[in-house]
Amino acid sequence: METRAANPGLSPDEVADRVARGQRNDLPPRSGRSAADIVRANVFTRINGILAALLICVLATGSWINAAFGLLIIANSAIGIIQELRAKKTLDSLAVVGEARPRIRREGSAREYGREEIVLDDLIEVGPGDQIVVDGVVAESDYLEVDESLLTGESDPEPKPPGSEVLSGSFVVSGSGTYRATKVGSASYAAQLTAEAARFTLVKSELTQGINQILKVITWVLVPVGLATVWVQLFQAGHDWRRAMLAMAGALVPMVPEGLVLLTAVAFALGVVRLGQRKCLVQELPAIEGLARVDVVCADKTGTLTENGMSYGELRLIDGAAASEVEEGLRQLAASDPRPNASMQAVAAVFPPAQDSWPVLAKAPFTSAKKWSGATFVGPDGAAVSWVIGAPDVLAAPDSAAASEAEQLAAGGLRVLLVGTAEHPVDDPAAPGAVTGQALVVLNQRVRPDAAETLAYFADQGVALKVISGDNAASVGAVTSSLGVVSEYAIDARTLPADPGAFAEAVEHNDVFGRVTPHQKRAMVGALQERGHTVAMTGDGVNDVLALKDADLGVAMGSGSPATRAVAKIVLLDDRFATLPHVVAEGRRVIGNIERVANLFLTKTIYSALLALFVVLWRVPFPYLPIHITITGWFTIGIPAFLLSLAPNTERARPGFVERVLRLGIPAGVIVAVATFVTYLLVLPAPGAGEVASRQATTATLACMIVAATWVLAVVARPYQWWKVALVLVSGLAYLLIFSWPFTQSLFLLDVGNAGALRTGLVAGLIGAVLIELTWWLRGRFFGEPLRLWYRREPDAPAS
């Protein structure tokens, strides 16, 4: 719908001139990196660099089969590029849907444009809930008030008369107006912050920080171990330079957790794609990790538990008030409100704005803080009259019949407004004063059909739910009672203690709150966070913005105000509250599975580093060639880790990722390394025994490592499901085939001819497996880790 106004705005020629001069609101792409940046970032990585250097060393020896690990460079790069490009495509397409589109006035008409279409000096129209998208100066103000607390920390909304400055990143809480853009693009106050908040990134994440810590340590270990291995193989073991280079590659390649970084990136990107398929826009990629840690969900009632719109119910007159007079008052209020909220829209649908509107002397737009709106008119008799509409428990006397009737109606889940005439003009500091109630306006609010099932899911998952609403406490309690999960007893937030400690105690031990102001919502989120909770906040209105911004995970509805969508980390574009369990489940899947496979990669890194160290200290030939390490990784780590990273996982993530991974990775790695090296010493042939004996010793040592490493996989895969058991069995059968088939024996340089040596390796591997099993049980006992052998079915998320 277009609106006409006296101040026409720019002409097409003026817009074209500013575009030509580069005075356009150009912003970075929502998904951050371009396709070229994605390719570059996935090819030129630290791990690919290390593997490429080792590949060059191996190729210089002329042994092509031992260079098979070089395929990891191609695989790592290709899979990472494909997944991130998929995620970028998903983000870009969803961002177009979820993007706030400001109303720009040009040549006298206003319509919605994309943010990037704003040019310098454009006139931008705003109303309640709209975000200020570029810096500007107010040109027209109709009781315009802007909340700048996200920028300045000031809690009170600022009146913005014509000529005052507005900053990007703030948002309108009441009134309406227009402002002229004075700074666009990167020059605007919050442009860089907004771009960073929406960027596809893996930073600011405990998970990725932990992985980076592991990689840094490994990088520092690689250089001295590599040099020491070459020195020992050349000057102590008596090998030529080719064999020394192969030994170095065989020692260093398994120390690089090449798949861990890849699987982390793939899991995050796949999470974005999966959520995108449910019309869920992830505006910050680390939000996926936050999903897994949520243990409290704070939900607004209107627009979250109930549908966003309301419908008119009835008009109940008070003390014999004239119906015609009340209806005319409602029509005049509708005519005076250019940007009505949902309640006023429902009223105006039945009592449309008056055609012969009364002159307006003053207006008081609705705000969530004061709970009422109104206007002072010049009435038909020439006298000033102030009509107000709002919450009965705010406008009516507490002991009045109107207040009592409104409370009874609200207890049935209805939305009730009181309309009447006020003692003072609405712009008076003492407004509204005593209000003469004329009628109760009853509105119907519809509970979302999937709300009860969604709340039941959270209860089953151990996620606490707090309903915090600005509506009447009795009405909120009636709605939550009808859902059957949350307590029907609602606390009136106006009665909450001012003392921070007592306030936090009340928030912790109660579930439903009504008459909550925007700043109380923010304080509630902060109180829960101070008590160690990870808080998700859902909302759709301007009164939810502050709490959404402060929550660990802000979730906005797609039909909500532009300000809520701008500050939220996740936007449910189809407004489906039932999507939230899928969002939480996706976060748990990603984080839980990355931690699971990290155990595999860290164990491999530790036993590889220790084995290389033992070889240096004992000054013996390195037992393996690079091809042996490559086949070891296929079925004990690579393929199983990929499948495990995609599996369902409903366990809530906990802090301390690195510490937990080390609890299993270090002892398991030590056990595999010791068992393998002891086997090698037992089967090591005498110097000069020949190539056949050396290969038989390598085969026996490799058998020990594979048996022990496969049991690490068996432990990490717990709790078992049929497909996990099959995964472990298939891995074992694959190695049985490799060791028994003459073709693979020849291809992978194996020799099983020495039955005694092979038996020694298998027994040592089984002993290692028993010790790894014991380690798993002891870790559970000492550190309180779950000791579940078999999967117990968790409650499913509501069906989509």
Q: What is the CATH number of the domain that holds 354?
A: 3.40.1110.10
Does position 708 have pLDDT exceeding 90, yes or no? yes
At residue 76, does pLDDT exceed 60?
yes
**To 10 degrees, what angle do helices 579-618 and 657-683 make?**
40
CATH of residue 566's domain is: 3.40.50.1000
409-434: pLDDT as tens digits: 988 888 899 999 999 999 999 999 99
Domain end residue (candidates: 563, 583, 603):
583
Q: What number of other Cβ atoms are within 10 A of residue 769's Cβ?
A: 21
527 — phi, psi (to 5°)? -65, -40
Residues 115, 98 contacting (CB under 8 angstroms) = no
Residue type, 715: V
Tokens of 633: 């990784």
Tokens 């999470």 -> residue: 271
The pLDDT score that the predictor gives to residue 199 is: 41
- Encode pLDDT of 348-391 as tens digits: 999 999 999 999 999 999 888 888 999 999 999 899 999 999 99
The domain of 749 spans 656-785
Q: Are 676 and 607 in contact (CB under 8 A)?
A: yes
Distance CA 228, CA 231 (A): 5
Q: How far apart are CA 170 and CA 83, in angstroms?
A: 35
User: Do 684 and 665 fall within a single domain?
Assistant: yes
More confidently predicted of 503 and 645 = 503
Q: What is the pTM of this model?
A: 0.75
Q: Is the pLDDT of residue 195 over 50?
A: no
Is 117 within a domain? yes
pLDDT at 153: 60
β-pairing, 296-299 vs 464-468, is parallel
**Are 299 and 321 in the same domain?**
no
Q: 454, 798 in Cβ contact below 8 A?
A: yes
Same domain, 398 and 486: no
Q: Is residue 611 part of a domain?
A: no
Of residues 601 and 771, more confidently modeled: 771
CB 414 within 8 Å of CB 447: no
Does some domain include residue 649? no
- Examine the domain organization and report whether 119 and 167 are in the same domain: yes
pLDDT in tens, 487-542: 667 899 999 999 999 999 999 999 999 989 888 999 999 999 999 998 999 988 77
Helix pair 579-618, 241-252: axis angle to 10 deg? 150
| Token pair listed for 102 | 């400001």
Do 481 and 571 sit in the same domain of this protein?
yes
**Based on the domain organization, do 471 and 371 belong to the same domain?**
no
Domain C-terminal end among 583, 609, 640: 583
Q: What is the CA radius of gyration of the chain?
A: 33
Q: Of 583, 600, 617, which residue sits at a domain end? A: 583
What is the per-residue pLDDT for 486?
Answer: 67
| Number of structural domains the chain divides into | 4
Do residues 131 and 24 share a domain?
A: yes
pLDDT at 786: 80
Catalytic residues: 300
441, 452: one domain: no
State whether 366 and 327 are in the same domain. yes
| Amino acid present at 741 | W
3-state secondary structure 122-149: CEEEECCCCECCCEEEEEEEEEEEEECH
Higher pLDDT, 797 or 163: 163
In a domain, 419, yes or no: yes
- Name residues whose C-beta falls within 8 Å of residue 633's C-beta, 6 or more positions apart in sequence: 254, 604
Question: Are 162 and 290 in the same domain?
Answer: no
The DSSP bridge partners found for residue 390 are 372, 418
Tell me the CA end-to-end span of the chain in Å, nearest whole number.
Answer: 33
- Residue 236, pLDDT above cutoff 80: no
Count of residues making up the chain: 800
466, 317: one domain: no
Q: How far apart are CA 497 and CA 521, in angstroms?
A: 14
User: What is the rounded CA–CA span in Å between residue 454 and residue 81?
Assistant: 35
How far is it, in rounded angstroms, from Cα 214 to Cα 595? 13
CA torsion sign, 485 to 490 to 491 to 492? positive
Tokens of 442: 């009853």
Return the residue matching tokens 């009164």: 543
Nearest 5°: phi and psi at 788?
A: -110, 120
